[in-house]
């Protein structure tokens, strides 16, 4: 089975949920907490750089690819579970619980550049490999009522004004937006 989800949208939590393993600790990344993670592999982003690996039919595979045809091409013969939520919310969560720690102690403009690169990579990836709703199981975090979606709704409520500013810059100016700099606690382009 393939679990398809945006970065930060809880795909690894859902994998733990399916296995009956504790999944609801708040504000944590889960992909490094699962002992069987290496065995089950993570297909991350399926693209021209993806290297196929042997997958047993009982294994749970996670991927950030949301294009069904590409998943079926690269990982044939598996049912697909697609987790939907707001991309901006999921990337903000990805930044807060995972990537932000790579930037601790760096100036805010370098952190914001990291946010920009995260946003740029994901939006450009989904332009190249468009998102669709064709899956065997669809989970909509905003609409579905389950313990998993309840946990993820809470997780996705993270607030980060700097991230929101960087998102707005990308949306307004695109992938070639000028470097963001900070002066006197004001965000500038």
| pLDDT per residue as tens digits for the range 71-97 | 998 888 889 999 999 999 999 999 998
| DSSP-assigned beta bridge partners for residue 80 | 2
pTM: 0.84
- Report pLDDT for 182: 59
Residue among 107, 99, 93 nearest 155 (CA): 93
Alpha-carbon distances, residue 154 vs 7, 90, 93, 142, 149 (angstroms): 16, 12, 11, 10, 9
Are 50 and 116 in contact by the 8 Å Cβ rule? The answer is no
The residue count for the chain: 189
- Report pLDDT for 3: 94
Cα–Cα distance, 117 to 69 (Å, whole number):
26
Cα–Cα distance, 19 to 12 (Å, whole number):
11
Cα–Cα distance, 135 to 144 (Å, whole number):
16
Cα–Cα distance, 6 to 20 (Å, whole number):
22
- Report pLDDT for 67: 93
Q: What is the pLDDT along the chain (189 residues), one digit of tens a residue?
A: 999 999 999 998 999 999 888 888 765 554 544 333 333 344 576 765 566 555 666 678 888 999 999 999 888 888 999 999 999 999 999 999 878 888 888 888 889 999 999 999 999 999 999 999 999 999 999 999 999 999 999 999 999 999 999 999 999 999 998 866 655 556 666
- Report pLDDT for 37: 34
Are 10 and 147 in contact by the 8 Å Cβ rule? The answer is no
């Amino acid at each position: 089975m393939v679990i398809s989800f945006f970065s930060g949208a809880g795909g690894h939590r859902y994998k733990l949920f399916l296995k009956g393993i504790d999944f609801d600790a708040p504000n944590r990344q889960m992909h490094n907490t699962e002992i069987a993670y290496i065995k089950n592999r993570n297909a991350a982003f399926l693209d021209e750089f993806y290297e196929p690996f042997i997958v047993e039919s009982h294994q749970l595979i996670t991927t950030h690819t949301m294009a069904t045809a590409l998943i079926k091409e690269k990982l044939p013969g598996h049912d697909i579970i697609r987790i939907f939520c707001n991309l901006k919310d999921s990337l903000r969560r990805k930044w807060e619980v995972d990537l932000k720690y790579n930037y601790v102690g760096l100036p805010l403009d370098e952190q914001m550049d990291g946010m920009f690169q995260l946003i740029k990579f994901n939006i450009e990836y989904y332009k190249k490999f468009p998102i669709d709703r064709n899956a065997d199981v669809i989970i909509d975090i905003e609409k579905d009522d389950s313990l998993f979606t309840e946990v993820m709704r809470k997780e996705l409520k993270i607030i980060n004004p700097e991230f929101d500013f960087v998102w707005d810059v990308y949306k307004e100016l695109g992938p070639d937006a000028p470097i963001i700099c900070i002066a006197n606690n004001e965000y500038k382009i």
